[in-house]
Amino acid sequence: MDTTVLSLGDPLAPARKATAEMLRERNTSFSLPQPFYNDERLFQIDMQEIFHKEWLIAGMTCEIPSKGNYLTLQIGDNPVIVVRGAEGKVHAFHNVCRHRGSRLCVSEKGKVAKLVCPYHQWTYELDGRLLFAGSEMGADFNLADYSLKPVNVKTAGGYIFISLAKEPPAIDEFLRTLDHYMEPYDMENTKVAVKTTLMEKANWKLVLENNRECYHCSGSHPELLNTLLEWDDTNDPRASQEFKDHVADSAAKWEAEKIPYLHAGFGLRNRIVRMPLLKGTVSMTMDGKQGCKKLMGRIQNPDLGSMRILHLPHSWNHCMGDHMIVFTVWPISAQETMVTTKWLVRKDAVEGEDYDVARLREVWDATNDQDRRLAEENQRGINSTAYQPGPYSKTYEFGVINFIDWYSERMLNNLGEESAHVREASVG
Average pLDDT over residues 141-164: 97
What pLDDT is stored for residue 8 in this prediction? 66
Domains, the chain, ordered by start = 1-52+187-428 (3.90.380.10), 56-163 (2.102.10.10)
**Could you tell me the CA-to-CA distances from 185 to 39, 259, 273, 327, 341 in Å, in that order?**
42, 10, 15, 18, 19
- Residue 83 and residue 67: Cα distance in Å, rounded? 8
- Residue 54 and residue 163: Cα distance in Å, rounded? 6
**pTM of the full predicted structure?**
0.94
- Residue 351 and residue 294: Cα distance in Å, rounded? 11
pLDDT per residue as tens digits for the range 333-360: 999 999 999 999 999 999 999 999 999 9
- Residue 299 and residue 246: Cα distance in Å, rounded? 20
Q: What's the alpha-carbon Rg for the chain, to the nearest Å?
A: 23
Q: Is the pLDDT of residue 245 over 70?
A: yes
Map residue 245 onto helix, strand or coil: helix
Kindly indicate the confidence band of residue 235, based on its pLDDT and cuts at 50, 70 and 90. confident
pLDDT per residue as tens digits for the range 135-147: 889 989 999 999 9
What pLDDT is stored for residue 1 in this prediction? 44
State the average pLDDT for the chain.
94
Percent of the chain with pLDDT over 70: 95
Average pLDDT over residues 8-20: 91
